Amino acid sequence: MAKKPAAHATKPKPWTEMATHLVDVAMGRKPADLVIRNGRWVNVHSGEIIAGTDIAIAGGRFAYCGPNASHAIGQGTKVVDAGGRYLVPGLCDAHMHVESGMVTVTEFCRAVIPHGTTSMFIDPHEIANVLGLPGVRLMHDEAVAMPINVHVQMPSCVPSAPGLEHAGAELTVADVAEAMTWENIIGLGEVMNFPGVAANDPVMSGEIAATVRAGKTVGGHYASRDLGLPFHGYVAGGPEDDHEGTRAEDAIARVRQGMKAMLRLGSAWYDVASQIKAVTESGIDPRNFILCTDDSHSGTLVHEGHMDRVVRHAIQQGLKPVTAIQMATINTAQHFRLEREIGSIAPGRLADLLIVSDLAAMTIDEVYARGARLAKGGKLDIDIPAYDYPKTAKNTVKLGKKFRAGDFDITAPKGANEVRVRVIGVIENQAPTRALEADLPVEDGLVAMDRRNDVCQIALVERHRGTGGVTNAFVSGFGYMGDCAMASSVAHDAHHIICVGTNKQDMALAVNRLGQVGGGVVLFSKGKELALVEMPIAGLMSDERAEIVAAKAEKLTEAMRKMGCSLNNAYMQHSLLALVVIPELRISDVGLIDVTTFQKVDLFV
């Protein structure tokens, strides 16, 4: 049977235009479009689970929630028997980057709707770093066309750390002010330049002021373990939430200062278990805690889930199911000033609802958004047409030349037989890195890698202006033992090309291959291409279906394993090695960056 088109799930009229009709349905004067009977109402306002509940829906909004909706059933009303199953509000992802899924907004929605996500708050700062404001507009317009609620946060830091990297574009205070007038901009994306906020940088303070004047939410990103004066200065500057905490004390400090603590479980970021102890052990009020994913790989979305995965994980850490669900629904809605639109099953709100057979396991049987069923039994029930990106969003990988193995040579100081170098140390399942040091041999005047001690080479290749520039350094933690190289044009946040390898010939081949296909991620070994995920849209996203991308990504993961890499979601770790706003040591087109001091440092100690 052909799937229904997405048009039936268009956005309902505003509550103000629907109120009289909703009243008539609630009073029994007019029939509902849909009545779901005999459910267990998970009420996130009261914290109760109320058995024997009926829900009446009209015009894509909830009209009646109570013990008996028979008065709202008319000749044209569709009736669904929940059979005693749980009625849960549609799940919200409070902070995420679509581009991390390797797919477009459309394909991301196709992947996550069956997992119960009906609202997303996306920060498209990845595409902004490549295409600037026009790139943000592209994703904004695509988001508006979706059958679920995809709200957009205007990227705040492009580039993320001025002076320490050069992105493909730059956003200004004027750009932020303009974006605040767009219909679907919900606020300012994560303010990553935390030293700038604490120092009253005029760009940061100007962007925050423009957002506050528009009555919208300011997203935070304080990626430091220092909870002293820099943290207090950052909070005073205006950011209202933060997802970069990794310890219980981080969550507690943020909540005490009036921020929302966002706890993330992404494909490679496991920060819920440690921080949720602030609630389960320290007794901090859970109303100020919000669950999110931040970055989810396409394979995670297809095979493990999305916000249902996060809620399930939070419950496993000791939270009551209703409390975990509040952190993924009403808490998020309140934070973004959308409590009267989303986040709960209550009259007037958008009719986003899940029918769940096992609450603790988050077993989702059916997904409704705006009163229409979008998924059943883990399968999408509608068709969402592909979104057509223009040519201007493609062919963005500009190398300027064909790279050779010699471009990745690191010349040792004259006369040295051994050198001590700085090494970027990967931390599994966390965004921060360690600043390590290693003694490496010198062969024919060049510094050699030491794969026996897990030290291989990393190169950042400039790709926006075709300069041919390369920054060479060393990295540890991937465990590569065979001759190989993996290159990616996804390299948060400036998105140059990052190549990690044990063999310079393979490094050259990998970089050149990305230039040929317009971006993506590729793995070579001994001159042979083992895996490739093409991402022609801004060098960040595929134009293929999510399940196809996930299959290619799984092939990549398996190839990495064969080369000796056992890291959980190593591709995600790879893609963050140039993120110069998270400590401790990173690489950029400027050089090797110490993110504890925000200064360029020399490779040699």
pLDDT at 3 over 80: no
AA identity, residue 234: Y
CB atoms within 10 A of CB 527: 10
Clarify whether residues 398 and 337 are in a common domain: no
pLDDT over 70, % of the chain: 98
- CA distances in angstroms from 491 to 21, 476, 495, 577, listed in the order given: 50, 17, 4, 7
Q: For residue 415, what pLDDT is reported?
A: 93
Asked if residue 397 and residue 334 are part of one domain, the reply reads: no
Q: Sorting pLDDT into bands at 50, 70 and 90, what band is 431?
A: confident
Residue 73: per-residue pLDDT? 98
Q: Report pLDDT for 195.
A: 93
- Triad 438, 441, 444: Cα angle to 5°: 145
Write the DSSP string, 122-142. Answer: E--HHHHHHH-HHHHHHHHHH
357 burial via Cβ count (<10 Å: 0-12, 13-18, 19+): middle
Q: What are the residues facing 153 on neighbouring strands?
A: 187
Rounded Cα distance between 252 and 470, Å, is: 42
Q: For residues 26 and 503, what is the distance between their CA atoms, to the nearest angstrom? A: 69
Q: What is the CATH number of the domain that holds 264?
A: 3.20.20.140
- Helix or strand (DSSP H, E) at 232: helix 229-236
Answer whether residue 316 shows pLDDT above 50: yes
b/e string for 547-576 if b means 16 or more Cβ within 10 A? bebbbbbbebbebbeebebebebbbbbbbb
What does the mean pLDDT of the chain come to?
96
Is residue 290 located within the same domain as residue 168?
Answer: yes
| Domain housing 220 | 90-342
Find the mean pLDDT for residues 165-187. Answer: 97
Each residue of 342-378: pLDDT tens digit? 999 999 999 999 999 999 999 999 999 999 999 999 9
Answer whether 431's CB lies under 8 Å from 269's CB.
Answer: yes
The rounded radius of gyration (Å) of the Cα atoms in the chain is 25
Long-range contacts of 72-76 (CB under 8 A, 24+ apart): 72/25, 72/26, 72/28, 72/31, 72/32, 72/35, 73/31, 73/32, 73/35, 74/30, 74/31, 74/32, 75/31, 76/31, 76/33
Q: What does the pLDDT look like over 71-124, one tens digit per residue? A: 999 999 999 999 999 999 999 999 999 999 999 999 999 999 999 999 999 999
Q: Do 253 and 186 fall into the same domain?
A: yes
Residue 38: name the closest of 107, 86, 105 by CA: 86
Residue 10 confidence (pLDDT) above 80: no
> Are 331 and 400 within one domain?
no
In this structure, is residue 2 part of a structural domain? no
* Contact residues for 20 (Cβ-Cβ < 8 A; gap 6+): none
| pLDDT above 70: residue 6 | no
**Helical ranges in 483-603 per DSSP H:** 504-517, 546-562, 570-575
Q: Judge whether 38 lies within some domain.
A: no
Average pLDDT over residues 304-321: 97
Query: Residue 253's closest CA among 270, 235, 280, 239?
Result: 235
Percent of all residues in the chain with a pLDDT value above 90, rounded to a whole number: 94
- Cα end-to-end span (Å), the chain: 66
Q: Do 187 and 322 fall into the same domain?
A: yes
Pair (406, 516) in one structural domain: yes
What is the rounded CA–CA span in Å between residue 182 and residue 152?
10
d(CA 66, CA 50): 9
> Are 226 and 96 within one domain?
yes
Residue 81, pLDDT score: 98
Domain count, the chain: 2
Identify whether residues 202 and 293 lie together within a single domain.
yes
What are the structure tokens assigned to 487, written together?
Answer: 């290159």
Given this model, what pLDDT does residue 298 score? 87
State the pLDDT at residue 1.
Answer: 36
Give the pLDDT mean for 460-473: 98
Burial (CB count <10 Å: 0-12, 13-18, 19+), residue 75: exposed
Please give the order of strands across the beta sheet that includes 520-525: 446-447, 433-443, 418-426, 470-476, 455-461, 497-501, 485-488, 520-525, 528-534
Establish if 72 belongs to a structural domain.
no
354 within 8 A of 90, measured Cβ to Cβ: yes
Q: Tell me, what's the pLDDT at 379?
A: 96
192 DSSP assignment: -
Residue 4 has pLDDT above 80, yes or no: no
Q: Is residue 8 part of a domain?
A: no
Q: Is residue 139 part of a domain?
A: yes
Residues 335 and 400 in one domain: no
- Asked whether the predicted pLDDT for residue 524 surpasses 80, the reply is yes
Rounded mean pLDDT of 511-527? 98
Q: Quick one: pLDDT at residue 563?
A: 97
Residue at which a domain ends, from 282, 312, 342: 342
pLDDT at residue number 268: 80
- The yes-or-no verdict on residue 7 having pLDDT over 90 is no
Which residue in 388, 329, 337 sits closest to 353, CA to CA?
A: 329
The whole-model pTM stands at 0.93
Residue 81 within a domain: no
Among 410, 417, 511, residue whose Cα is nearest residue 455:
410
pLDDT in tens, 236-291: 999 999 999 999 999 999 999 999 999 999 988 899 999 999 999 999 999 999 99
Joined tokens for residue 376: 């059943």
Contacts of residues 223-230 at CB distance under 8 Å and 24 or more positions apart, as own/partner, are 223/192, 223/194, 223/431, 223/432, 223/581, 223/582, 223/583, 223/595, 224/194, 224/583, 225/250, 225/583, 227/253, 229/198, 230/194, 230/195, 230/198
Domain presence at residue 43: no
Residue 8 pLDDT greater than 90, yes or no: no
Same domain, 459 and 334: no
E runs forming strands in 390-496: 418-426, 433-443, 446-447, 455-461, 470-476, 485-488
Is 36 a domain residue? no
Across-strand partners of 64?
A: 56
Do 317 and 406 sit in the same domain of this protein?
Answer: no
Q: What tokens appear for 583 in the block?
A: 């400590």
How many CB atoms within 10 Å of residue 419? 18
